[in-house]
Amino acid sequence: MSKNKIKKSIKMSTLAILLLICLCQIGLAAEGSLSISPHTINASPGDVFSIDMVVYPAGASVYGAQYELLFDNSILKATSQNKGTFLSLDGTDTIEVTNNINNTIGRIDYGETRIGDPDAIGGISEEGVLATITFEAIGTGTSDIRLDASLSDPRAQLIEVEVNGGTCSIAGTGQIPVSEKQGLPGFRVICSVIGLIVVSLLMVKKRFK
């Protein structure tokens, strides 16, 4: 093989690698995020505190949202979960499709969608609080607060989401914030968010019958 052919081959390979890197970066670019606020909590046994589930659309239009939250049930006890104002910031009605607390296994589920013709009402593109969770500290130690979440747009398409969990330390134990990035949510979350859209569309159809 001549030197010119070798150089040409090297250039082509380099261009292919650069193109692949660019495509990967585009595929992993997050268009929205769901984060726990505050990210870290210091408390003492018996304390009661709340955390907000904050959605940052980052330019995306959000029509429905869903998350699963896991925590150490030997340290924390969830006492309530209340709907925030994120999906109704413009006055549009919403419905909670899922709102469940299971302290036995240390898991919380929440799902909410806007109600109405997606083409007419669109989604929300401003940041806001999706829900607020209240905990009671019942033990000592450190509990990671882990998230799995999904956002969808008015066309029922999944929005790539960055998920940021947190850490709760009881009685002064060490703390390390948890930050998890997810390009695509788990299968159960995908099914849940699709279910949110289906319920919303059925309610619209029933309203106009």
pLDDT of residue 186: 53
pLDDT of residue 139: 95
Q: Which residues of the chain have a pLDDT value below 70?
A: 1-30, 172-209
pLDDT of residue 40: 96
> For residue 167, what are the β-bridge partners?
40, 144
pLDDT of residue 201: 55
Give the other-Cβ count within 10 Å of 60's Cβ.
22
List the 128-137 sheet strands across, edge first: 76-83, 128-137, 48-56, 32-37, 161-164, 180-182
pTM of the model: 0.70
pLDDT of residue 5: 52
pLDDT of residue 27: 42
pLDDT of residue 196: 59
Tokens of 109: 């589920």
According to CATH, the topology of domain 31-207 is: Immunoglobulin-like (2.60.40)
In tens, the pLDDT along 145-171 reads 999 999 999 999 999 999 999 999 998
